[in-house]
Structure 1
Amino acid sequence: MTLKLSQIRDVVAIADGGSLRAAAQNLGLAQPALTRSIREVEHDLGVELFERLPRGMRLTPAGEVFVRRMRSIQAELQRSRDEIDQLKGLTIGQLTIGLSMASTIALLSGALAPFKARYPGVKLKIVEGLFPGLRRQIADGDLDFYVGPVAEVPLPREFVLEQLFTNERLVLGRVGHPMAHASSLAELADASWIGSALTEHREDELGLVFSTRGLPPPRVEVETSSALSTMMVAANSDLLAMLPRQYLRHPGAVDLLMPIPIRERLAAPAICLVRRAALPLPPAAEFFTDLIRRTAVHEARTRAE
């Protein structure tokens, strides 16, 4: 089977628009031409990519797999164009990166200004999240790279992992928390907690911290999937959160959250840079990762002092 770039464009456009009509309007094509294009692809593949509904079209399971791969091809083509332009000295294109909250707070400010000075025409798109949620986007090429905690190592060979610095967690609660003077994890045995997800095993993450110290499992009453929701729940309740120490430097946390001064040192997964192994980064992305590395060295030295 030989796919045309126009056919890839057509399939993705229908998946995005949800109907032939919407896709035809977005592409500036006649609906019959678009219909022929899709039927040719389906004939060559031997499967239906779309379920025809009374109002619109919906991807079949085979269509979902196909479209995900086609998006990767489109992203690689655009990345190739950007890379060639950047090699020619043009400062254009797009860089899409995944950052955790901790890496955003610790590293973004040191990299952003020099990057925009060197590549003023490159659009920077930042996707906030943790590795489990962004893993597929990295693998598919939707993200150029990810910077943040990685709890489950080693990673599959499709990824390249580079550790930037080790990290620590703090127990955080609202200002004026009734357990503000606790000095050990054991004194927090009756506390209620907020759970987050650094790995695919959300329910085990807090429990492991307690079990390794011979303590009963914590009572997790709220589970969150974003840094902002974690901070807001902690700031507006008596629930505690165990978060990377960088969260206290978030402007929104200064007047809302405080560390509980327990004596235990709580290791956090290291902050790492993760990219795909198969292809090198474009010049703009490579420049940004270099800035991230330099800022990480400064962050590690500051913590050591």
Structure 2
Amino acid sequence: MTFDEQRLRAIVAIADSGSLGRAADQVNMSQPALSRMIHDMELRLGRQLFERHSKGMTPTIAGDILLRFARQLTFDMQQAREALVELDGLRGSRVRVGAIASAIYATVAEAISALLIAAPQVSVEVFEAADGELTEALAERRIDLMIGSEGLVYEGIRPLGPCGEGDHFTVCCNRATARLLPEKPQLADVLQQRWVMLNKGRTPRHYFDGLIAQAGAAMPEIAIETNSIAAQIALLQTTGLLGWLPWPVVRDQIAADSLVALNIPALTLPRHFCIYRRSNGYLSRAAELFLEKLGVGGASPIQEA
């Protein structure tokens, strides 16, 4: 069976969206036409590619195998088009950047601003997520570069070097909650309070749990878990809970006095940022320019692997 780009893009769209309707919008097809295309592919291949259920569609084992190749091939096709476009200059060139929230505040936003001033014809896509989601997005070719925590190891990606000055995590709460604590609170004081934290499995939560274990203390009561930095900030401002967040993310709220940073040395964790790319593949001129604005190396570290 011959696979054209439309069929490959359809497979990726259905897998990513989990919905035939949303996927149809992404590939500019009607839902019935997309359904017929997938059904025809399954008949020709003699294998079911997707399981249909009430909440949408998920790839089967055969679908997962085909999906890996579909991602690679559609990405290579797009990269080829962009490389040809760049023969005529940067107009139409694009860079897709993934970063953790703290890095966006600390260094990425400024670098993007500098890039757009130097090359206004370049377009930029920004994807904010946790380290784990970013490494997957980079390996799956959904982004071109990622800025995350230093020391990440993931198959198919490699570090290019440090990025910016990093940040540190700090305990914070609203002003009313801070008044209820001792003037100079200690670790034991804050661990007696209720907290809002990122979900288990997220990198910051892993760091926090490790610091508590390192201190030989018991975990505090986690009243609320969330996957959202914005939700944590809003809840800290409006409840009596404590939180643990990167300094660049909360510095504006602290400056405005809607949040207070508590000096708890055992829970003050420095973190360094690193920029990563895929181990192999083409890196666009727009991506190279973005790296220059970040101050990451010259041409040699980002050549074709």
TM-score range, shorter chain: 0.7 to 0.9
- Alpha-carbon shift at residue 241 of structure 1 (Å): 1.3
- Give the TM-score, by structure 1 length: 0.78
What is the rounded CA distance, in whole Å, between the counterparts of 2:293 and 2:47 in structure 1? Answer: 46
What is the rounded CA distance, in whole Å, between the counterparts of 2:281 and 2:56 in structure 1? Answer: 34
User: What RMSD over aligned residues (CA atoms) do the two structures have, in Å?
Assistant: 3.6
SS at match of 1:187: helix
SS at match of 2:93: strand
| Correspondences of 1:96-245 after superposition (within 5 Å) | 96-150=96-150, 153-161=151-159, 162-164=161-163, 165-176=165-176, 177=178, 178-179=180-181, 181-196=183-198, 199-200=201-202, 204-245=206-247
SS at match of 1:92: coil
- Alpha-carbon shift at residue 81 of structure 1 (Å): 1.6
Shift in CA distance, 125/251, structure 1 to aligned 2, threshold 3 Å: farther
State the AA in 2 paired with 1:61. Answer: T
- Tell me which of 254, 257, 280 is aligned to 2:256: 254
State the AA in 1 paired with 2:110. Answer: G
Kindly indicate whether the alpha-carbon contact (under 8 Å) linking 1:138 and 1:146 is maintained by their aligned counterparts in 2: yes
Kindly indicate whether the alpha-carbon contact (under 8 Å) linking 1:145 and 1:274 is maintained by their aligned counterparts in 2: yes
SS at match of 1:121: coil
- Tell me which of 285, 288, 291 is aligned to 2:287: 285
What is the rounded CA distance, in whole Å, between the counterparts of 1:29 and 1:58 in structure 2? Answer: 13
Shift in CA distance, 72/239, structure 1 to aligned 2, threshold 3 Å: farther
What is the rounded CA distance, in whole Å, between the counterparts of 1:66 and 1:188 in structure 2? Answer: 51
Structure 2 runs not aligned, ≥5 long: 297-305
Structure 1 runs not aligned, ≥5 long: 295-305
Shift in CA distance, 264/105, structure 1 to aligned 2, threshold 3 Å: same
Shift in CA distance, 10/287, structure 1 to aligned 2, threshold 3 Å: same
- Alpha-carbon shift at residue 94 of structure 1 (Å): 2.8
State the AA in 1 paired with 2:167. Answer: N
What is the rounded CA distance, in whole Å, between the counterparts of 1:258 and 1:115 in structure 2? Answer: 34
1:61 pairs with 2:60: yes
| CA shift digits 1:62-99 (9 cap, x unpaired) | 43553464244323322332233224313213322112
| CA shift digits 1:227-258 (9 cap, x unpaired) | 10111111111211112221233469734211
How many pairs align?
A: 289
